[in-house]
């Protein structure tokens, strides 16, 4: 039941039962199905756009991750090289100190 429109001659507050004409029922069902399909297609396209955006973000993150790993490898190699040079310099300085002490004791 739906409320009646006072302009149609019905008294305010009355209710009238509307029946869908059985001949028009397939049209109504078809309209509802089309409407549901339209909503479904809209939501599907919206979801597709979101998935595409996520794929782009994943691709960017993979590229960034690869770049960061390469940078880490370069820095690790550079650190190892610097540690080796530091050890060589330390050995040379210790050798110089040893020679200076020997010279000082010899004088």
Dist. CA 40–CA 92, nearest whole Å = 77
Query: DSSP state, 22?
Result: T
Look over the chain and give the mean of its residue pLDDT values, rounded to a whole number: 82
Lowest mean pLDDT among 9-13, 66-70, 76-80, 89-93: 9-13
In this prediction, residue 4 has a pLDDT band, given cuts at 50, 70 and 90, of very low
Dist. CA 45–CA 15, nearest whole Å = 42
Over the stretch 29-62, which tens digit does the pLDDT of each residue have? Answer: 666 677 788 888 899 999 999 999 999 999 999 9
Side-chain half-sphere exposure of 79, counting CA atoms within 13 A: 6
């Amino acid at each position: 039941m739906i409320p009646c429109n006072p302009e149609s001659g019905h008294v305010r507050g009355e209710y009238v039962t509307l029946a869908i004409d059985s001949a028009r029922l397939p049209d109504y069902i078809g309209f509802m199905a089309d409407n549901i399909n339209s909503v479904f297609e809209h939501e599907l396209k919206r979801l597709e756009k979101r998935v595409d955006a996520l794929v782009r973000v994943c691709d960017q993150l993979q590229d960034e991750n690869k770049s960061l790993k390469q940078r880490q490898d370069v820095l690790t190699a550079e650190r190892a090289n610097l540690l080796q040079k530091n050890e060589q310099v330390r050995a040379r300085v210790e050798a110089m100190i040893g020679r200076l002490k020997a010279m000082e004791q010899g004088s």
